[in-house]
Structure 1
Amino acid sequence: VKIPKNFVCEHCFGAFRSSYHLKRHILIHTGEKPFECDICDMRFIQKYHLERHKRVHSGEQPYQCERCHQCFSRTDRLLRHKRMC
């Protein structure tokens, strides 16, 4: 069952399934970045991106390759590594 995309962006006419996703998308057009790093002042559209960025400062690397045990701060970097490991 497909969920209708009833929420349409007035800037680019992209369609979304919820008002939340539309509001998040509109930030791309407005340039607003409401989430700010308290260490280096970088700003982000999404809270998740800020949380991921904070690992740069903390050195946290919670994602580990099960083959070679190398650790990564981001899941996308672990997945890229796994293709070559």
Structure 2
Amino acid sequence: MEVMEQNRKECTGKKRRFDIYRKKVANIKKHITTHTGEKPHSCPVCGKSCVRKQDLQSHMVTHDINRPVYSCIVCNKDF
């Protein structure tokens, strides 16, 4: 019982609650961009904008001259 009580105090400390609250605020701010059309992450090379930072990172690979190029066997479009 004493160990459980000690763990409960550690889990409900002020810092822990603040971290959870801050996470929820960050999540709602990201979610709101789906309604506003805001795209805060933009490519420094071509200017393409993305909602998510991860999407911009994936896009940046398209500017890498050392990346392998794959061609469609039907239309010859490069990817």
Between Structure 1 and Structure 2, the one with more helix by share is 2
TM-score (norm 1): 0.46
Which structure shows the bigger proportion of residues in strand conformation? 1
